[in-house]
Structure 1
Amino acid sequence: MGYYTRVTGEINIEPPLTWQEFKDSPFLPGSANDSTAYDVRLRADEETVDTDDGQLIRKTASTVLPRWDDSFKAYNLIEHVQAIIDAFPGHTFSGRLDCEGEETGDLWRVVIRDGRAVKVTPQIVWPDEDGVA
């Protein structure tokens, strides 16, 4: 069974990864090294460019997304986000993944701070009622 977490959001990559950088990546669904063992994936973008020799399809990757659209067992999400950051040095990663577990109030995020994937949990504060703390 296990505990399931819904993960949404995205992490941006600047500058975008070139095809040579990510074509054999385990983070690219459908690649020769595709690994569903990772909780995150790259989104490949395609752009058609006119050249003197004809049309060229340029592939880049500028976004990290959750591997699945449905809830999944995100036990290693932070480590997997860090693995994708470490796999592509020379690029800046920014953004966040929002996470909501099965239990009420189980909310957290994965954010990027100084090149590190960090778990952030919210602080719930009750407002004062009529000056009573």
Structure 2
Amino acid sequence: MGYTTHVRGEFAISPPLSWNEIKASPFAAIGHGRYGAVDIDLVLRVEEDSVDTAEGTLVRRAGTALVMREIDEYCARNLVEQVQGCLNLFPGHTFTGRLDCEGEENTDMWRVVIRDGRAVRVQPRIVWPDEDGAL
């Protein structure tokens, strides 16, 4: 058993990814992929839409978000690199949102955000309020 980090949140994808982009991606929810030397812990959320046609029902699939897989114990060692890897695979798409991360220790809080097309780890600043202006 190792150190565990809980990750919440997602990155919405606009415009959504096409089925051809999804199925060729290591971030597809089919199996467990790799991006370079890194095991992938993120997956693309795929939404389906059924449309009746003259030939039968047509199912359209679109990748609408990048989210965490269901993982019991997660250490978040390569999370920023994985988000960046997904960004690199899909130029022309905008990713918005964030992943909020909280480790076992009460001071271990951080986020993964996207700034200027780059995945960035952001640490919070903890500030004590002034007590009547005296330090």
TM-score (norm 1): 0.91
- The CA deviation at 1:89 is 1.2
Q: Tell me if the contact between 2:2 and 2:73 (Cα under 8 Å) persists in the aligned partners.
A: no
Aligned 8 A contact 2:41 2:69 in 1:
yes
2:87 and 2:96 mapped to 1: Cα distance? 10
What is the identity, as a one-letter code, of the residue corresponding to 1:22? I
Which residue is 1:94 aligned to? 96
Shift of residue 115, structure 1, vs aligned partner: 1.1
Which structure 2 residue ranges, 5 or more long, are not aligned?
none
Rate the CA distance shift 1:98–1:71 in 2: closer, same or farther, 3 A. Answer: farther
> Matches of 2:48 and 2:20 in 1, distance apart?
14
Partner of 1:15: 15
2:119 matched to which residue of 1?
Answer: 117
Note the C-alpha offset of 1:104.
1.1
**TM-score, L = length of structure 2:** 0.90
The two structures, once aligned, show a CA RMSD in angstroms of 1.5
Q: CA deviation at 1:71?
A: 4.1
Amino acid at match of 1:12: A
Number of residues of Structure 1 aligned to a counterpart in Structure 2: 131
Q: CA deviation at 1:27?
A: 0.8
